[in-house]
Amino acid sequence: MVVLVRQIKRDGLLSRQRRRQPGQILALLAIGFLLAGCGLPSTPAPPPAPTPEEEFLILAIGDSLTEGLGVRNEETYPAQLEAALRADGYAVRVVNAGVSGETSSGTLQRIDWLLQQRPDIVILAIGGNDGLRAIDPALTEQNIAALVERIQKSDAVVVLPGMEMVRNLGSEFADDFRTIYPRVAEQTGAIFMPFFLEGVAGDRRLNQPDFIHPTGAGYRVVVENLLPYVEQALQQLQAR
């Protein structure tokens, strides 16, 4: 437990437990969630160099699940996604713009800076820390909708993975939070992925000892699930 607390205090983090998991796992996750919300965002690195014109630039925006806390750079989901897409013959570069402890409000403050990179696709995996900090889901939805609209105005295609909260935070809150993502996707036309951690959350084999951050193998599952939605975005770009 001491190791768990030390790890979680390093960073505000998103995770959730699926509704059908055993209560013992839900309780363990809830402890981690409540501690995770205390982390402060780290300072983002400067924007990377521009992508060559023949490549599509994919910008992965999010919190520590995007940044890849606890795994090597090559094991993060953006790095693995780039490798998978290139293996499938796509000329792409995936930029990791994850910031540990990030909230939707923090992302909204830096989105114009991020969009200076002129991404072709943006994967917007944000909002989990909002839930952990019990921020009103209405405000989180407002921020995420504003982010999607701002990104779309830059002419980038948005992939919006869904996030969820465990029932320990309250059934009403969890239900309200869950509906944010499909509703924003429907209103904006963003490509919707139902749950970012599908097949990973709750599986001890795919998570680090803190039982919150995925391992490299866990991120491999994330990428496998995410690939069809990113390929859909690429097809939209190629059809223009």
210 belongs to the catalytic site? yes
Q: At what angle do helices 180-188 and 171-178 cross, to 10 degrees?
A: 20
Q: Which residue among the candidates 15, 63, 130, 213 is catalytic per the annotation?
A: 213
Q: Report the alpha-carbon distance of residue 225 to residue 87 in Å, rounded.
A: 16
154 belongs to the catalytic site? no
155 belongs to the catalytic site? no
* Pair 161, 196: CB distance under 8 Å: yes
Instruction: Give ∠ CA 220-224-230 in degrees, rounded to 5.
Output: 120
Q: Which residue among the candidates 64, 100, 104, 130 is catalytic per the annotation?
A: 64
Q: Which residue among the candidates 11, 63, 130, 210 is catalytic per the annotation?
A: 210
Q: Which of the residues are catalytic?
A: 64, 210, 213
